[in-house]
A and B are shown apart, each in its own frame.
Chain A
């Protein structure tokens, strides 16, 4: 019955109107970085949208080819600065697959905890930015920042840095977690659960929020698959696909958790899938903490300079925004011959045109927010 309020009649029959070209970005508060889209609008309705990307292109993949495997980690952090642990994870796992390295148990658990925590912090970032896109004055943003700050403090204690961790290494992790790590994670999980509750009661049932998000920017499962979407954006359309379950890496097959899927593939589903996914992440982390046993964190014999035999590998993991894959070719030696990142954001962004055309200008903003792009990952 939202139609009761909306009137999308075709006015072209009544008046002769002229389309307006509206340039959104690269300096616009809601393009989440330096994304630019040129919209053709008819009054308030979007008729066409052309995205422009590349403002943040730094050639990280090409740079990786000139560096040894350890040096590349720092550049992988910077391709995905909101979920750098997940980006590192794909990269180091690709290197491990090439070099045939065995990762110790403890290192795997640590990696799993940290990448799930990073999924939490990245989704918090999404919730905050998305809440502001829908027009709440700053409240969700600050709520999100409050929780993300606790997570980032924890990452700083573990790895030494707040965003660019460079902590996962081929073969394991760089050094052990602090001795009070488990207690600190438990603390942070409690505060994060509280933060998710705050969001749930602030947004999820608010009538205005529902009116704005439900039925807006829907995409069918077939089209979502055809456009190469992945992650929560794909699952919101009802596609039951999660790499953590379908191709278990790390120890995901040893913990108990659920895959969240939506039904309609609209903005609300994409939002709510992420909220529920965060609760699942908390479940995963608390199981990991119980299983974390003492032990080595790097293989016994790590060479000082890692060299790999010739070969190629494509390794994908489930990053917060979807499938983050690293394709790597080695011709032997200490550096990759080719390193290509399959970016989840770039693929999800392909759906922008299909989602946006025919909706209102205000909806275009929340649709862009709901597919949760990070421009550093789109442009790399």
Chain B
């Protein structure tokens, strides 16, 4: 009986505590910068084209083969009186979010820092009625970066806290 009394005392003590519920749909918890949702392509604001050159590095490194990449000659290249220094550029890009397992390998192998994991809430709330809607094309993959909604964090393998500068250190501090 003393044990039961102790249990009941504890539950009553908890009864008087403040609830810990996060009221999810109306409150979104701040997401840490290095949070990984699904991969996105990044947009080069200076030249107005994607960073991605369609080199297939991510496609080959993907463990679940969720990516399809097609490349083309860049019509905006300097030799064609354009502004870009990219000879080749991405033509078509699909990522099947239903297959992606968010392992971050595509980001690590990318030589141009052209792909990043989505670290906003849009990347997490992706429910659809049809699985086909989870296959993202180039425009959908770029849209978040074009509108500046993504908080880029492209991790460098083996990067330590000492090697990043003071300003970066403040950035990478988690907000909550």
The listed residue (B11, B101, B161, B173) touching A176 by CB distance below 8 A is B161
Chain B hits for A302, CB < 8 A? 157-158
Q: Find out whether the CB atom of A169 lies under 8 angstroms from the CB atom of B157.
A: yes
Contact of A207 among B4, B32, B155 (CB under 8 A): B4
Name the one of A139, A161, A175 contacting B158, with C-beta atoms under 8 angstroms: A175
Interface 1/0 per residue, A118-157 and B, CB below 8 Å: 0000000000000000000001000100100100010011
On chain A, the residues within 8 Å of B10 by CB distance are: 198, 201-202
Q: How far is the CB of B33 from chain A (nearest CB, A)?
A: 9
Q: Give Cα A306 to B173, complex, Å.
A: 31
Question: B2, B11, B35, B162: which contacts A202 (Cβ < 8 A)?
Answer: B11
Which of chain B's residues have a CB closer than 8 A to the CB of A160? 32, 34-36, 104, 117, 119
Q: What chain A residues lie within 8 Å of B169 (beta carbons)?
A: 179
- B145, chain A: closest CB distance, angstroms: 18
Residues of chain B lying within 8 A (CB to CB) of residue A159: 34
Per-residue interface assignment for chain B, residues 55 to 75, with 1 indicating a CB less than 8 Å from any chain A CB and 0 otherwise: 000000101000000000000
Question: Are A71 and B63 CB-contacts (below 8 A) given A164-B101, A174-B157?
Answer: yes
- Number of contact residues on A: which range applies? 35 or more
**Chain B residues numbered 27-85 whose CB sits less than 8 Å from any CB in chain A:** 32, 34-36, 61, 63
A143 proximity list for chain B (CB < 8 A): 14
The answer to whether B128 has its CB under 8 Å from any CB of chain A is no
Is there an interface contact between B158 and A298, defined as CB atoms closer than 8 Å? Answer: yes
Q: Which residue of A lies closest to B10 (CB)?
A: A201
Per-residue contact bits, chain B 129-158, to A (CB 8 Å; 1 contact, 0 not): 000000000000000000000000001111
| Bound form: Cα–Cα A184–B117 in Å | 24
Report the separation of the CA atoms of residues A48 and B108 in the bound assembly, to the nearest whole angstrom: 52
Picked from B2, B3, B11, B105, the residue with its CB within 8 Å of the CB of A71 is B105
A172 at the interface (CB under 8 A from B): yes
A208 within 8 A of B: yes
Residue A73 lies at the interface, judged by CB distance under 8 Å to chain B: yes
Of the candidates B11, B103, B159, B176, which one forms a contact with A166 in the assembled complex, judged by CB atoms under 8 Å apart? B103
CB distance from B66 to the nearest CB of A (A): 12
- The CA of A139 and the CA of B6, in the complex, are separated in Å by 15
Q: Is B34 in contact with A157, judged by CB distance below 8 angstroms?
A: yes
Q: Which of A174-233 contact B (CB under 8 A)?
A: 174-180, 184, 198, 201-203, 205-210
Query: B32 to chain A: which residues have CB within 8 Å?
Result: 156-157, 160, 178
In the assembly, what is the distance between CA of A145 and CA of B10, in Å?
17
Give the contacting residue for A205; candidates B3, B63, B119, B161; CB below 8 A.
B3
Name which of B10, B20, B35 has the most chain A CB atoms within 10 A of its CB.
B10
- A297 located at the interface, meaning its Cβ lies under 8 Å from any Cβ of chain B in the complex: yes
- Say yes or no: B11 contacts A161, CB within 8 Å: no
Q: How far is the CA of A73 from the CA of B6 in the complex (A)?
A: 45
B102 lies within 8 A of chain A by Cβ:
yes
Asked whether, in the complex, the Cβ of A157 is within 8 Å of the Cβ of B160, the reply is no
Contact of A174 among B7, B20, B155 (CB under 8 A): B155
Q: Which residues of B contact A25 (CB under 8 A)?
A: none
Contacts A157-B32, A202-B10, A202-B11 given; does A294 touch B162 at CB 8 Å: yes
Are B7 and A294 closer than 8 Å at their CB atoms?
A: no
Question: Per-position contact with B for A35-61: 1 when CB-CB < 8 Å, else 0?
Answer: 000000000000000000000000000
Most interface-central of A106, A143, A166, A177 (chain B CB within 10 A): A166
Q: Does A67 contact B (CB under 8 A)?
A: yes
Question: B157 to chain A: which residues have CB within 8 Å?
Answer: 169, 174-175, 298, 302
A296 at the binding interface (Cβ < 8 Å): yes
Q: List the B residue with the shortest CB-CB distance to A177.
A: B161
Does B6 contact A74, Cβ atoms closer than 8 Å? no
**In contact, A207 and B1 (Cβ under 8 angstroms):** yes
Contact A210 B162 (CB under 8 A): no
Q: Interface readout for B102-138 with A: 1 if CB under 8 Å, 0 if not?
A: 1111001000000001010000000000000000000
* Complex CA distance for A236 and B6, rounded to whole angstroms: 25
Q: Which of A74-121 contact B (CB under 8 A)?
A: 74-75, 78, 106
Per the bound structure, the CA–CA distance linking A157 and B175 in Å amounts to 10
Q: Collect the chain A residues with CB atoms within 8 Å of residue B6's CB.
A: 201, 205-206
Shortest beta-carbon distance from A75 to chain B in Å: 7
Give the residues in chain B near A72, CB-CB below 8 Å.
63
Binding site for A on B (CB under 8 A): 1-4, 6-7, 9-11, 14, 20, 32, 34-36, 61, 63, 101-105, 108, 117, 119, 155-162, 169, 172-174, 176
**Contacts A/B (CB < 8 Å), 25 sampled:** A71-B63, A71-B103, A73-B103, A74-B105, A75-B63, A106-B160, A139-B11, A143-B14, A158-B34, A160-B119, A172-B158, A174-B108, A176-B161, A177-B161, A198-B10, A202-B7, A205-B6, A206-B7, A207-B3, A207-B4, A208-B4, A210-B3, A295-B160, A297-B158, A298-B157
Apart from A71-B61, A172-B158, 4 more pairs, CB < 8 Å:
A75-B63, A178-B172, A184-B174, A294-B161
